Amino acid sequence: MTFWERVEILREEQNTSYRWIAAQMGVSETTVSSMRKAGTEPRAGEAVKIAKALGTTVEFLAGAGEDEYYKKYVLLKSALRELLTTN
Which domains are delineated in the chain? 3-86 (1.10.260.40)
Q: How far, rounded to the nearest angstrom, does the alpha carbon of residue 20 sit from its chain's CA centroid?
A: 13
| pLDDT recorded at residue 87 | 61
Q: Residue 48: its pLDDT value, please?
A: 97
CA 12 from chain centre, in angstroms, equals 8
Query: What's the Cα-to-Cα distance from 59 to each of 19, 48, 67, 84, rounded to whole Å?
Result: 23, 10, 13, 33
- Fill in the amino acid letter for 35: M
What pLDDT does 30 receive?
A: 94
Query: pTM for this one?
Result: 0.74
- pLDDT digits (tens), the chain, 87 positions: 889 999 998 999 899 999 999 999 999 999 999 999 998 889 999 999 999 999 988 988 988 766 677 677 767 877 887 888 876
